[in-house]
Structure 1
Amino acid sequence: MKRGKDQQTAKETGQQGEARALAYLQEKGYALVQQNFRYRRAEIDLIVQKDQLLVFVEVKARKNADFGFPETFVSPEQAQLIVTAADHYVQEQSWAGMIRFDIIAITLEPAITIEHFEDAFY
């Protein structure tokens, strides 16, 4: 099955979403610490820092909201995996500052929308 020029795979949509989320966060004064951090079965899309706050960010991007809003696709199991990976990262880096878990939800059509949910889970 061939895809048209304007069709994206889920992976491409995700990559585009992560790039847009990172640009958004950088505009808000966050600095990228690490991207796509993996620990066991978990992956943290973005780890960013602002002052003494380290933020673990799950990016959810969807082409449109036809099948639901992106932020609703973070399951409790996925949130727990992210928390476990973040705990490992904090210990590995001997981080002593504050931490937070955010979700950035991006919808690409009909117009690009970015929603930032701070303290989305813990």
Structure 2
Amino acid sequence: MAEHNELGKLGEELAVGFLQKNGYEILETNWVFQKAEIDIIAKKNDILAIVEVKTRSSIDFGLPQDFVKPKKIQLLVKAVNEYIVSKDLDVDVRFDIIAINKEDNAYKIEHIEDAFYHF
């Protein structure tokens, strides 16, 4: 597996652990609909958190959250609509980003709630 794929997988595992530790129930990981893949679908209280995980070994080229582009957001919205309909859910939806940066031998995790409203 390419090094960036391994880093991405590690980032998603770190994000799942982070969310669980903060009271989220993980409903799905790597859920796919058409061309969209949702990294994590989690629930806390009555909120469905759609979580995009961005992991970087360096922030030399920008922060991880800077790499979520409008096209990706459109695909996520489409996928979430399908997920909600297919599961017959009645929940509020929030789009989050978990940005993970490798700093020395540790990983810094930042959870940005309602991330798409910050763009």
TM over 0.5: yes
Amino acid paired to 1:119: D
- Which 5+ residue runs of structure 1 have no aligned equivalent? 1-7
Which residue of 33, 38, 50 corresponds with 2:32?
Answer: 38
Per-residue CA deviation, residues 26-68 of structure 1 (Å, 9 max, x unaligned), is 1110011000000000000000011211111000000111111
CA RMSD, 1 decimal: 1.2
The percentage of counterpart residues that share the same residue type is 44
Matched, 1:73 2:67: yes
Which residue of 93, 110, 114 corresponds with 1:115?
Answer: 110
Amino acid paired to 2:10: Q
* Deviation beyond 6 Å, 4+ runs, structure 1: none
TM-score (norm 1): 0.90
Greater strand share, structure number? 2
Larger-gyration structure (1/2): 1
- Which 5+ residue runs of structure 2 have no aligned equivalent? none
Q: Distance in 2 between matches of 1:77 and 1:114?
A: 24
How far the C-alpha of 1:109 sits from its partner, in A, is: 2.4
TM-score (norm 2): 0.92
Greater helix share, structure number? 2
